[in-house]
Amino acid sequence: MLTYNDLRERVIFLYEGEPYEVMEFAFLRMQQRKPVAKTRIKNLINGKIIERNFHQNETFEEADIEKKEVKFLYGHRGEYWFSELNNPAVRFKLGDDIVGTKAQFLKANTPVAVRLWNEKIIAVELPIKMEFLVKDAPPAIRGNTAQGGTKAVTLETGAVIQVPLFVNTGDIVRVNTTTGEYVERVEKATRS
């Protein structure tokens, strides 16, 4: 059993019968009141984030979440096909309800992790940083760039992100898949 003192960031526990992950944690002690654990927790089934205060008399059951490495094969019309890493013949599909917005960063033959709860897949986890080819980038427009301008580009997966003006079509960029933000240019496109 977990107490409210055990609720730190990244801890997964059962709350109201479903697994939740602690996203933020703060310990509050108000004058002449009992201490409180102020948290932001994320439901791992539906992805909703809520803020909740827990008191010292509350206890929680630790959620039994398994992590399994799999390979993403392809996606088509809201269905995403995966296979086991060591046995490619074992294939399964997941829908938009589980993959969610992470689908925009799924590349064919990319190893990813799935989270299982009660032997059911509840989430897909991508590597935090991934590299993508820039398929379409508008030319940089000269002008007021004193603050470092940005432009929208389309990646090989179809995702649209904001990048600095110097990024061009054919470049390879590193993207944070958690936030969807540009990190750096890895390789400059070769011009012929």
What tens digit of pLDDT does each residue of 17-34 get? 999 989 899 888 877 778
Write down the pTM of the prediction.
0.75
Domain count, the chain: 3
Neighbour-count burial of 10, counting CB atoms closer than 10 A to its CB (0-12 exposed, 13-18 middle, 19+ buried): exposed
User: Across the chain, what does the average pLDDT equal?
Assistant: 88
User: Are 74 and 46 in a shared domain?
Assistant: no
Residue 192 within a domain: no
**Nearest in space to 57 (alpha carbons), one of 79, 28, 35:** 35
User: Are 177 and 161 in a shared domain?
Assistant: yes
Residue 76 within a domain: yes
User: Are 100 and 138 in a shared domain?
Assistant: no
pLDDT of res. 114: 93
**88-139 per-position pLDDT tens digit:** 899 999 998 888 888 999 999 999 999 999 889 988 999 999 999 999 998 8
Residue 175 within a domain: yes
> 10 lies in which domain range?
2-62
Mean pLDDT of all residues in 7-11:
86
Compare 6 and 171 and report the one with higher pLDDT: 171
pLDDT of res. 175: 95
pLDDT of res. 69: 95
Is pLDDT at 150 greater than 90 in this prediction?
A: no
User: Are 23 and 36 in a shared domain?
Assistant: yes
pLDDT of res. 157: 92
Q: Phi first, then psi: what are they for 64, rounded to 5°?
A: -90, 85
pLDDT of res. 134: 94
Is pLDDT at 145 greater than 70 in this prediction?
A: no
The residue out of 62, 82, 106 marking a domain boundary is: 62
Query: What CATH number has the domain bearing residue 31?
Result: 2.30.30.30
**172-181 per-position pLDDT tens digit:** 999 999 889 9
The residue out of 38, 62, 86 marking a domain boundary is: 62
Query: What CATH number has the domain bearing residue 93?
Result: 2.40.50.140
Residue 73 within a domain: yes
User: Are 25 and 46 in a shared domain?
Assistant: yes
User: Are 14 and 54 in a shared domain?
Assistant: yes
**Nearest in space to 100 (alpha carbons), one of 33, 142, 48, 41:** 48
The residue out of 23, 46, 62 marking a domain boundary is: 62
pLDDT of res. 147: 63
User: Are 73 and 58 in a shared domain?
Assistant: no
pLDDT of res. 50: 93
User: Are 50 and 69 in a shared domain?
Assistant: no
Separation CA 127–CA 135 (nearest Å): 21
Per-residue b or e along 68-90, where b marks 16 or more CB atoms closer than 10 Å to that residue's CB: eebbbbebeeeebebbeeeeeee
Separation CA 90–CA 83 (nearest Å): 6
- Name which of 4-8, 65-69, 89-93 the model is least confident about: 4-8
